[in-house]
Amino acid sequence: MKSTDRKFTSTERMLNALDALSKPQHIAEWQGEGNSKHIFRRTDPPLLDWLREAIVSNMGGSGGGRQARERTPMAVGAFTLYEDIDGRIRSWMMEAGGTPIKAITPTQIIRSWYALWQTSNPTDHRRDAYSGIMEGWADAIRDNLDPPKKIEITAPCPICGQEWINIGLKLLDGQDDPDDVERVRTLIAVERDNINESYAICKACDKVWKGVGQMRWLRIAIDDADATKATA
């Protein structure tokens, strides 16, 4: 996976974001250890289709047979997300001078939108802005349909130095409500199958470490801080 280490051009970044939302994704990854190590291949549906199917199968009477209380929260989240994205893509299409009426799904619309929008010779800056939005949608869809593993990191944040933070209700003066206070670790790692989409976040200073390089930096910073403490 060396190719993921290099920096993408704005056009490549945008096509990656567009494809993740609107094209089937062919995934190949190593599984197992030693002699049983093998390449596992699978094809994931376009994220927008996956989201659409999740809604349809939850709303339809015959779908799945799961109990209502089990499916409702996800379906509601997925439905809101789908409506938001669908509305936004349709307005992009109209801004670009197209009409989104004929195309049925946002998956189809976003690809025709891209072809049309391309003809306006957008700057790298504009490409990056749209890529950022599409990457945000991809993350939101994955968070909704395939919630990642969250792991507390038992170390202080190397940026702000905080290790714990209080969450819960705040009183009007901004102090913590003593009846509703919970102390949690500031550093959380969010792990996905694709390591490039894994990240860690500090809840105290909002610093985010995303992808292999930055996650490695965080690990080293934490290990260094530990070593300094041990020799102090």
Give the footprint of Zn ion on this chain (CB under 5 A).
Answer: 157, 159-160, 202, 204-205
Least distance to Zn ion from the beta carbon of 218, Å? 11
> Smaller CB distance to Zn ion: residue 138 or 157?
157
**Closer Cβ to Zn ion, 109 or 204, answer by number:** 204
CB of 169 to Zn ion, least distance (A): 22
> Which residues are CB-contacts of 229 (< 8 A; sequence separation ≥ 6)?
none
The C-alpha angle with vertex 153 and arms to 151 and 155, in degrees rounded to 5, equals 170
**Please, what is the minimum distance in Å from the beta carbon of residue 203 to Zn ion?**
8
C-beta of 137 vs 209, nearer to Zn ion: 209
Q: Where are the alpha helices (DSSP H) in the chain?
A: 10-22, 47-59, 68-95, 106-118, 124-145, 211-231
Minimum CB distance to Zn ion smaller for 78 or for 218: 218
d(CA 188, CA 21): 27
Residue 207 CB, nearest distance to Zn ion (Å)? 5
Ramachandran quadrant class, 163 (left: phi over 0; alpha: psi -120 to 50; beta: rest): alpha
